[in-house]
Structure 1
Amino acid sequence: LVKDYVASTQSKLTLHFLPGYAPDLNPDELVWSHVKRTGVARRPLQKGEKLGSKIHEQLSQISRDPCLVRSFFGHQSVRYISDV
């Protein structure tokens, strides 16, 4: 069913079969790496701060920066995803 659908898109959609565990091929891992390098891991939580809230705040900041988001997809290991 999926192969038939992909074929019907006239090459506008392609399938990429990835290994079961391949974090280096996953742009989400690049986002988490960025969060760890630049965010909450760089500064201990202050009294009363919640880790979840701080992470959500940082992810929200990332989502408002289109250049940064594009950079995750432009990384050599995930270029298969797009032509960015």
Structure 2
Amino acid sequence: KRYVQSTKGKLTLHFLPGYSPDLNPDELVWSHTKRTGVARRPLRKGEDLQQKVNEQLQTVAENPALVRSFFRHPSVAYISDC
């Protein structure tokens, strides 16, 4: 508490419930991945699930506009609230 006060308003804490997937941008990434990636097409013989998921996440990481969109979602607006 003292440290937060010492920042003179430059740092604010947001207390979240113990389980709140709707407030977690990671959940938006997983939702996107499931909607657009591996869940839309079954694995073919010899394909590796972990590799497919990693490829999908790499594609997300290489798209800054998409990553920003997760943080602009109304449910996680508290993160970038200035």
TM-score normalized by the length of structure 2? 0.93
Match of 1:42 in 2: 40
Counterpart of 2:18, as a letter, is G
Match of 1:33 in 2: 31
Question: Of 56, 68, 84, which aligns to 2:66?
Answer: 68
Cα distance between partner residues in 2 of 1:5 and 1:57: 40
Cα distance between partner residues in 2 of 1:66 and 1:82: 16
Q: CA deviation at 1:78?
A: 0.3
TM-score normalized by the length of structure 1? 0.91
Structure 1: gaps of 5 or more residues: none
2:6 matches 1:4? no
1:30-77 alpha-carbon deviations (Å, 9 max, x no partner): 000000000000001111111111101111110111100000000000
Counterpart of 1:52, as a letter, is Q
The alignment of Structure 1 onto Structure 2 pairs a total of residues equal to 82
RMSD: 1.3
Q: CA deviation at 1:12?
A: 2.0
| Structure 1 ranges of 4+ moved more than 3 A | none
Q: CA deviation at 1:13?
A: 1.7
Structure 2: gaps of 5 or more residues: none
